[in-house]
Every structure is written in C-alpha cells, then in structure tokens.
C-alpha cells in the first residue's frame, strides 16, 4: 500500500497558529536570581521525557509558557522556535507547508516541547537515513550561567572557545545552559511511502539489510520485532512502487512506525513484561549481543532494545565489546533513575567536568541529570 504524505498528521480544520509568548526577560531574571542565591534549577519543558536521565534536586524552572515560532522560511527550509513551543504544534505548522523534522522525534506525551526534544536528543526510526537531532540544529539562543542571552551557530554568531555550543546543547539535558530558541533545517515530506512486513528471522533480516544497504533503495525505516522485518519506503512514487515490488512482503500497518517511535508497542509495556528495559546503541553491523531475554531491533541494527534480567554491568560490558553503549530506561519513572547511562571513562569524565565548569561554574543547571557530580 502506497500513501502520500502519511508520516505527519494532517492539520486540523481551523487550526490555530502557535501561541506567541516571549518570556525571555523573565527567564533571564530567574537565572540571575538562582546564581545570586546559589539555587540549583530543575529545567522542565513539557515533562514528557522525565524518565530519560537521573533525578534532579532543585527548584522547578519551567519553560513551557515560552512559546512561538520566531521565524519560518519554507523556501529556505529554516525555522526558528522558542523552547517551550509544543512539538506537535511545530510539526503541524511544518506539515501545512509540506515539510517535516526529518529526524522524526518522539513525543511521549502531548506536552512534549521543542526545547525538551533538543535537550534529550532522541531521534526516531528514520535516524540512520535521515540524520539525528544534532544534524538539523543550525543555531541556538542560549541563556548562560551569567544571565545573558547569546546566539550561537547558524546565521548569527560564530562559536567560541572551540565549542560548537549549538550542537553541544543536543543531548546535554539542560546541564550546560537554558535553551531559549532553536533554529532547525527542515525538509519536504516524502511524496509517497509504503510500509512492508516480511516474515523472516532476525539473522536473515540483518543479512538482507546489509545487502540492501549497498544499494540506493528508498528505505527510511527497518525494524525486527522478533518475528518479522518491518520496512518503510519513502520517496518518489515510482521509486517506492518499484522497491515495494522488488522486496515483496505484505502491506503493514503504517502506525507501526509511530508506535515504535513513541515506545508504545507491547514490547515496551511493563504490563506485558516487567523485566528491565535496555537501549543498546551499536555500530549497525555489530554482531548479535549475547544477552538473555527478548530483543527488538531498530535502525537496521544500530539500535537494539532488550528486555532482560541480565545485571547492568554485564549488559554494558557486552555492548562495549562490540563498540557501543547501553542505557537503562524505565518509562514508569517520571523523574529518572539513578544510573541510566554507561559510566564515563576517566578521560571522558575529565572533559565532561571541564565543560561543565566552563559553561555552568555555579552548578545551577540540572545538576546531576546525566551523571552524579556533574
């Protein structure tokens, strides 16, 4: 089954423009007061990704009311948005112009914000083919530790001190400063798409994907759920139809990709499986990881989800042996868990501490969100 523009929801009839509320001055004053009082701040957008990271002790500093699309040029494929803008609102505006955020970010809740999306840096199933969040960030306006608003990257100002500060914000989870605005590169929606289901084993699927990866096929999604390989094709109608005929399989539910992106498949639900959930990020052709449990493969093998009772140290050791790392995720923990990320090596820890000391010397921005002591 081939679809036109089916990856983003159609705009609702009579949809309203994104609310424009510039609270920059109030945010600046709050940061200055926190520095003066030596008060740690727990930065929050929509609260949809609180499970991803460690708990933070500090006064809640919400950016959810700081909303608005500051600038959008569909011709130049550039949009600038305030951090508190709802991700769904931005995507609707882009869809009305036939465009999208190509890295397919998850929401996890209707409250998901643009700032939280950038801070967590999580990309969807299109990641290996379309790029990551970091690849599409052109620039940021940042509220710094000394209570200033500075532009970095993009069209405005060169980066300083040897750091690409705009992209450093991606995945930093608010530990280096407060994201005020972000500029993104956007891309057109695909003219056509198709979703296929091919019954085959995991090993056969990985071999087929390695073979197909050497050809210019319009694949933008590849996941194996333990029983079948799910493939998404996107591009021109002719290319999609030809590839669909070549690969075979059966038409699949197009909602599969949204449910995978939002971790809404039965595999991710504690109601179906109470074992710990692990996300392994690996080279896409890494060999199978010898863990006990059940696996769901995404990103054509580069992202592997596991439900396993294997001890954390063993999971991370196996991931490291094949050139990757493992993250423990508990979707039911709204404020995070104590040790979600692979511990840093001494060398990496030194650089993280140095960066934190330079960009947040007072230690007020989301202290300990990534690692204890940072």
pLDDT in tens, 253-308: 989 999 999 999 999 998 888 999 999 999 988 999 999 999 999 999 999 999 99
End-to-end CA distance of the chain: 49
How far apart are alpha carbons 272 and 63 in whole angstroms? 35
- As a CATH number, domain 2-11+19-188 is 3.30.465.10
Instruction: Please give the model's pTM, rounded to 2 decimal places.
Output: 0.91
> Can you tell me the mean pLDDT for 102-121?
98
Q: How confident is the model at residue 18 (pLDDT cuts 50, 70, 90)?
A: confident
**Three-state secondary-structure class, residue 282:** coil
Dihedral over Cα of 189, 194, 195, 198: its sign: negative
Lowest average pLDDT, out of 15-29, 119-133, 166-180, 343-357, goes to 15-29
Residues 370/360, Cβ–Cβ less than 8 Å: no
pLDDT at 6 over 90: no
pLDDT digits (tens, 9 = 90+) for 225-252: 999 999 999 999 999 999 999 999 999 9
For the chain, residues classed under CATH 3.30.465.10 are: 2-11+19-188
CA distance 233 to 218: 5
Taking the C-alpha atoms of residue 99 and residue 78, their distance in angstroms, rounded to an integer, is: 10
Q: In what order do the strands lie in the sheet with 78-82?
A: 69-73, 78-82, 178-185, 137-143, 149-153
């Amino acid at each position: 089954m081939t679809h036109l523009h089916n990856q983003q929801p159609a705009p609702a009839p009579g949809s309203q423009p994104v609310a424009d509320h510039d609270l920059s001055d109030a945010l600046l004053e709050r940061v200055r007061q926190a520095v003066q009082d030596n008060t740690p701040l727990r930065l929050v957008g929509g609260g949809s990704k609180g499970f991803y990271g460690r708990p933070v002790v500090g006064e809640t500093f919400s950016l959810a009311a700081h909303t608005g699309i500051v600038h959008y040029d569909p011709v130049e494929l550039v949009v600038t948005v305030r951090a508190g803008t709802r991700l769904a609102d931005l995507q609707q505006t882009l869809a009305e112009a036939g465009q999208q955020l190509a890295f397919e970010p998850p929401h996890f809740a209707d409250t998901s914000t643009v700032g939280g999306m950038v801070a967590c840096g999580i990309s969807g199933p299109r990641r290996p083919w379309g790029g990551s969040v970091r690849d599409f960030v052109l620039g940021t306006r940042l509220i710094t530790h000394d209570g200033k608003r500075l532009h970095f990257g993009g069209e405005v100002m060169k980066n300083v001190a040897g750091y690409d500060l705009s992209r450093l914000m991606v995945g930093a989870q608010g530990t280096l400063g407060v994201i005020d605005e972000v500029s993104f590169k956007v891309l057109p929606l695909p003219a056509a798409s198709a979703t296929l289901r091919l019954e085959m084993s995991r090993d056969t699927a990985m071999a087929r994907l390695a073979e197909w990866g050497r050809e210019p096929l319009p694949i933008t999604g590849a996941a194996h759920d333990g029983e079948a390989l799910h493939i998404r094709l996107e591009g021109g109608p002719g290319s999609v139809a030809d590839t669909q005929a070549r690969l075979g399989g059966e038409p699949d539910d197009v909602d599969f990709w949204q449910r995978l992106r939002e971790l809404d498949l039965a595999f991710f639900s504690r109601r179906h499986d109470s074992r710990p959930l692990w996300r392994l990020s690996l080279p896409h052709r890494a060999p199978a990881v010898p863990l006990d449990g059940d696996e769901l493969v995404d990103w054509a093998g580069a992202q592997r989800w596991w439900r396993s009772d294997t001890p954390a140290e063993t999971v991370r050791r196996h991931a490291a042996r094949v050139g990757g790392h493992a993250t423990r995720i508990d979707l039911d923990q709204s404020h995070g868990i104590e040790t979600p990320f692979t511990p840093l090596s001494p060398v990496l820890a030194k650089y993280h501490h140095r960066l934190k000391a330079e960009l947040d010397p007072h230690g007020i921005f989301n202290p300990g969100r990534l690692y204890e002591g940072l």
